[in-house]
Structure 1
């Protein structure tokens, strides 16, 4: 695993481009901000769509329920649910485009067998189908309320704010001095907004309402976000299944990579050395009667090769699973690992008992990879390894005082280590500012 250290930007270098400042403060610019118009558009478009969804869902669901006494009720009900799932796709796309809400796609309704009957059964059994139906029913009254409130306050705010610009229509076309606030039927006790002061107050009230409308719209669309994410997104079970499928792929890739590494080390190391050893012993056997001294030298060289081959096999076995880890646990295994590191390492293991063997092995190899990176890339003077149990989790922390700059997003070996930890519900956190120090924290489930 290669972990890139070093600064990602030049020291003292700053971006010379000036930061773009908004023309208006956020509070004053909110009424004309693109986000406000997108959210208002979401509420406006949502009303006709919700009417169609509600009418479709209620009509076909009621029809299917009424026909359940016959065979026709089941496919009609399945069609109602399938249509609601289709509306769910449209709603997720609308929320993504106008609200910036990226909702994970739920699992499709997959049938174990082919055919219409299997498809109907899959749709009826899918929880996503029934949540989509519930969304179609619940969203209609909310869309009516949200659209009415948003349009009312938006139109009133802008109308009052721009009243000084369009007041002239009253004396010219209505025969009155201005906008009538109240008045009797005979017109003798009427109050019109026609004086400069009244016009100014009206515009000020319109400004306040206009400035408040974006936050009102944002509050209304928050409810829509909750409905879309809660009813149209992937359920926790679906998300967990997808996560497990991803973890299974990561475990398979890791196992395949480990097998390739073992095969390569055996082929290039011990196997090649043993092949040379066999050739040397064969040559020594031929020279045994003709030149005993040469044969003795060959046997002596072969003896040295045997020792090297045994050492390589021990190192390979230690890389697969060290015996000291099985016999004595993490404390002794990590101490032995730290003793082989070229950087002085302080090890502190504080565990009430040993965790599960699989978790113990992953923790060992995590520390092994991180200490290898410390030795090869960090230029650190000292390093620390801290292992403890925290709230049902195994916490492994490796730190060094090197030059820092480790970034898992840069495609380094840290990304692969994070995937390996994620396969067992683990988490990897890297804190490595440029210039150091670096602290890498791995959390693993205890499973003791």
Structure 2
């Protein structure tokens, strides 16, 4: 069942609908709607009557408040039930409580427009929607069944049998069409409004930024542990081997073995230093973006011209994002561009850091080919920035990054 809604199934091929699950899903949607609507028609007016009658003794306010908030559970159940007629879930429009506990939850819900919109939906459902569900089920299924069985009680009523048999094939279409329309109305009334979606998008963006910040903090911790822990131990071991070599006879087998061990240890320290720079460069933490990119350019196999003039240190997330974008861009240049030179420029203007990385390579950089550009764009977006790439076939390639410095 590849269709997302009953509407799509009806619109694409009405004849195939009868062989799909949509009529049965639609039937379940309307039957549960009648059952749930009938229950709310009995329960909510009874609670309201009890609340109004008991207001003089004080406890009535609890029942009235329960009726006022009844739209919240009703709408939650309706959003869950809607999956029968519309497989795309409807997002919950409610915000998390501002404070913990029942009082915080109550305060937040009473202040939300979504709560009162859901109460209005509950009223519409009680007074109209579930009654219409019942009528559609009656005319689509019950009436044809009664007409077909009419000759069992009165043989002279056989013409009604013909009418019932003619109406019976239309039943699944009637049920499916109304379930689709009912689902569309429900989605329209219960879906989050622009302001509520904006709040959720803000929360998602903030959550993503927090994850990036936590990841960068962890990278800095690993770099410190490598530099202050493992790297220092290896350096101390190299010194100890040097002292041990003094006690060995010059040119002896032991002296040669210690020299070989020192050589391997020196290589290990160099590799560990490169690894710690890749995790999080110490120059970035201590001296800022300009110094870190200068060190990066000095280690590059390509000649890289660096022009970074910043009036001050930038926020840590901005510096980290800019550095790793430059590092990945230069790595891509070395691996894929066949360039003979590259350049990095950065400047700060009106609270916006602009970074440009260019090369004279063959161009043709495509984010879909796994060159890391998608990851760079995601990282820039997490910092509320924007990444643009110009790389026509034949070159040159220009990567342009903009990061706000809040």
The residue correspondences of 1:201-216 to structure 2 (distance < 5 A) are: 214=176
RCO higher in 1 or 2 (8 Å CA, sep ≥ 6)? 1
Distance 2:56 2:387 in 1: 56
Relative to 1, partners in 2 of residues 1:222 and 1:375: Cα closer, same or farther, differing over 3 Å?
Answer: same
Equivalent residue in structure 2 for 1:318, among 276, 279, 283: 283
Which residue of 1 is the match for residue 256 of structure 2?
A: none
Which residue of 2 is the match for residue 381 of structure 1?
A: 338
Q: Aligned-pair RMSD on alpha carbons?
A: 6.2
| Residue ranges of structure 2 left out of the alignment (5+ in a row) | 1-9, 248-261, 390-394
Distance 1:384 1:254 in 2: 26
Q: Figure out how many residues of one structure are paired with residues of the other and give that number.
A: 354
TM (norm. structure 2) is 0.57
Equivalent residue in structure 2 for 1:141, among 96, 109, 124: 124
1:155 positional shift: 7.1
The residue correspondences of 1:129-278 to structure 2 (distance < 5 A) are: 131-132=114-115, 134-142=117-125, 145-146=128-129, 172-174=155-157, 214=176, 217-230=179-192, 237=199, 240-241=202-203, 244-245=206-207, 247-269=209-231, 272-273=234-235, 276=238
The residue correspondences of 1:20-419 to structure 2 (distance < 5 A) are: 26-29=12-15, 31-32=17-18, 33-53=20-40, 55-60=42-47, 63-64=50-51, 71-80=58-67, 84-96=71-83, 98-104=85-91, 106=94, 112=100, 119=102, 121-127=103-109, 131-132=114-115, 134-142=117-125, 145-146=128-129, 172-174=155-157, 214=176, 217-230=179-192, 237=199, 240-241=202-203, 244-245=206-207, 247-269=209-231, 272-273=234-235, 276=238, 316-320=281-285, 322-323=287-288, 325=290, 337=296, 340-342=299-301, 357-358=315-316, 360-371=318-329, 373-374=331-332, 378-382=335-339, 401=364
1:222 positional shift: 1.5
| Residue ranges of structure 1 left out of the alignment (5+ in a row) | 1-23, 113-117, 180-192, 194-198, 287-300, 327-332, 431-436
Any conservation in 1 of the 2:353–2:403 contact (CA below 8 Å)? yes
Relative to 1, partners in 2 of residues 1:384 and 1:59: Cα closer, same or farther, differing over 3 Å?
Answer: farther
Structure 1 or 2: more helix by fraction:
2
Any conservation in 2 of the 1:82–1:123 contact (CA below 8 Å)? no
Distance 1:362 1:242 in 2: 21
Relative to 1, partners in 2 of residues 1:447 and 1:320: Cα closer, same or farther, differing over 3 Å?
Answer: closer
TM (norm. structure 1) is 0.53
The superposition leaves residues 144-185 of structure 1 with CA deviations (integer Å, 9 ceiling, x where unpaired) of: 64556567668767899x99x969959953276988xxxxxx
Structure 1 residue matching 2:191: 3-state secondary structure: helix
Structure 1 residue matching 2:192: 3-state secondary structure: helix
